[in-house]
Structure 1
Amino acid sequence: MLNGDIYLKALNVFYGPVHAVKGVELKIEEGKITTILGANGAGKSSTLKAIAGGVRYSGSITVGNVPIDVMPVHRRVANGIVLCPEGRGIFYTMTVKENLLAGAYTRKRAKLELAFEIFPVLKERINQIAGTLSGGEQQMLAIARALMAEPRYLLLDEPSLGLAPVVIEKIAEVIREINKRGITVVLVEQNTSLALSLAHKAYILENGRVAIEGKPEELMRSDVVRQKYLGGVSK
Structure 2
Amino acid sequence: MLQVAQLHAYYGPSHVLHGVSFEVHPGEIVALLGRNGAGRSTTAKALVGLVRSEGTVRWHGQDLTGRQPFEIAQQGIAYVAEGRDIFPRLTVQQNLLLGQKGAGQWTFDKVYALFPQLLARQHTLGGVLSGGEQQMLALGRALMGNPQLLIIDEPTEGLAPQVVTQVAACLQQLQQQGIAVLLVEQKLAIALDISDRVLLMGRGSVVFDGTPQQLRANAAVRREWLEI
Aligned residue for 1:67? 63
Residue of structure 2 aligned with 1:115, choices 108, 111, 114: 111
Structure 1, gaps ≥5 residues long: none
* Partner Cα distance (1:85, 1:61) in 2: 19
Superposition CA RMSD, Å: 1.7
1:202 aligns with 2:198: yes
1:230 Cα offset (Å): 7.1
CA distance 1:195–1:56, change in 2 (3 Å): same
Structure 1 residue aligned with 2:214, among 215, 218, 221? 218
More displaced, 48-57 or 130-139? 48-57
CA distance in 2, matches of 1:181, 1:128: 29
The runs of 5 or more residues in structure 2 that have no matched partner are none
Provide the rounded CA distance (Å) in 2 between the counterparts of 1:115 and 1:128.
16
User: What is the aligned length?
Assistant: 227
TM-score, normalised to structure 2, is 0.94
Q: Tell me, in whole angstroms, the C-alpha distance in 2 between the residues paired with 1:33 and 1:126.
A: 29
Partner of 2:90: 94
Partner in structure 2 of residue 124 of structure 1: 120
2: distance between equivalents of 1:22 and 1:69?
16
Give the superposition deviation at 1:229. Answer: 6.9
Matched, 1:175 2:171: yes
* Alpha-carbon offset, residue 231 of structure 1: 5.4
> Which one of 6, 9, 13 corresponds to residue 10 of structure 1?
6
Q: SS in structure 1 opposite 2:15? A: strand
Distance 1:231 1:74, change over 3 A: closer
1:79 is displaced (CA, Å) by 1.4
Deviates more, 1:28-37 or 1:108-117: 108-117
**Contact 1:193–1:230 (CA under 8 A) maintained in structure 2:** no
TM-score by length of 1: 0.92
- CA shift digits 1:184-234 (9 cap, x unpaired): 1110011122111111111110010111110111111111245457759xx
**Alpha-carbon offset, residue 108 of structure 1:** 5.0
**Does the CA contact (< 8 Å) of 1:219 and 1:225 recur in 2?**
yes
Would you identify which runs of 4 or more consecutive aligned residues in structure 1 move more than 4 Å?
228-232
Q: Which amino acid aligns with 1:194?
A: I
Q: Equivalent residue for 1:49?
A: 45
Paired residues of 1:192 and 1:229 also in contact (CA < 8 A): no
SS at match of 2:190: helix
1:109-139 CA distance string (max 9 Å, x none): 8721121111011011000111111111111
Per-residue deviation, 1:70? 3.5
Identity of aligned residues (%): 37
> CA contact under 8 A between 2:34 and 2:200: conserved in structure 1?
yes
